[in-house]
């Protein structure tokens, strides 16, 4: 499998989608995927469309990119592929349960397990919801201690809920456009 094809499939793009995104004809992309090396403008346009450096696009497929079996406590484990449609669904599944905080974590976690999408990005999504669920009551209680009145308390509650909706929707947009998360943590809670 060619390097371009592997990178294109990793980002869940068809040849036609990559053609539109890069401005390079689908036929040229087919030629490159069958062994022709991209040069000049073609190389720059494809690298930009895939958000890679030109050197990364030219590298031969390394041992790290080939599907491999990881040894984990003596048991072989396949590398998990990310389905971005499922990832977006798992992310958006938190919205209906924002007002019932434990469910905004439990429902996405159940979806992760049933869809078999236990990967770094889903762990990030659930960790983000766990962190929000911990911080939201703390911020609310701090707002209550300020004793600024009922209107302030109501506005604070609405802002807390809207902040989570915004985080979820912004991540959904980023998953759609760039196949990554906009808001992520540098650690996992699960």
Total-model pTM: 0.58
Let me know whether 171 and 101 are in one domain: yes
Task: Provide the number of structural domains found in the chain.
Answer: 2
Strands 75-78 and 69-72 come out as antiparallel
Cα(66)–Cα(70) distance, integer angstroms: 12
* % pLDDT > 90, the chain: 34
Residue 60's pLDDT is: 54
Structural domain of 9 = 3-58
Residue 129: inside a domain, yes or no? yes
User: Which CATH number do you get for residue 45?
Assistant: 1.10.260.40
The reply to whether 108 and 174 lie within a common domain is: yes
Span 88-118, pLDDT tens digits: 999 999 999 888 888 999 999 999 999 888 8
Same domain, 89 and 173: yes
Give the model's pLDDT for residue 92.
93
Give the tens place of pLDDT for each residue, 18-74: 899 999 999 998 888 888 888 889 888 988 888 888 777 776 544 333 333 334 444
24 and 93 together in one domain:
no
Query: Are 109 and 152 contained in the same domain?
Result: yes
Q: Is a pLDDT exceeding 50 seen at residue 186?
A: yes
pLDDT band at 1 (very low <50, low <70, confident <90, very high): very low
One domain, residues 91 and 128? yes
């Amino acid at each position: 499998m060619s390097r371009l094809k592997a990178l294109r499939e990793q980002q869940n793009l068809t040849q036609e989608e990559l053609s539109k995104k890069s401005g390079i004809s689908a036929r040229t992309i087919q030629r490159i995927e069958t062994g022709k090396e991209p040069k000049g403008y073609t190389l720059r346009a494809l690298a930009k469309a895939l958000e890679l450096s030109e050197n990364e696009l030219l590298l031969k497929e390394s041992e790290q990119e080939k599907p491999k079996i990881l040894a984990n406590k003596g048991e072989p484990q396949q590398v998990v592929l990310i389905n971005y449609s499922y990832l977006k669904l798992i992310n958006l599944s938190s919205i209906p349960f924002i007002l019932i905080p434990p469910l905004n974590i439990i429902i996405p976690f159940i979806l992760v397990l049933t869809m078999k999408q236990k990967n770094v990005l889903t762990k990030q999504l659930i960790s983000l919801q766990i962190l929000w669920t911990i911080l939201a009551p703390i911020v609310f209680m701090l707002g209550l201690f300020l004793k600024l009145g009922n209107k302030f308390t109501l506005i604070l509650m609405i802002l807390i809920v809207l902040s989570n909706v915004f985080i979820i929707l912004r991540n959904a947009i980023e998953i759609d456009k760039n196949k990554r998360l906009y808001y992520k943590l540098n650690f996992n809670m699960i």
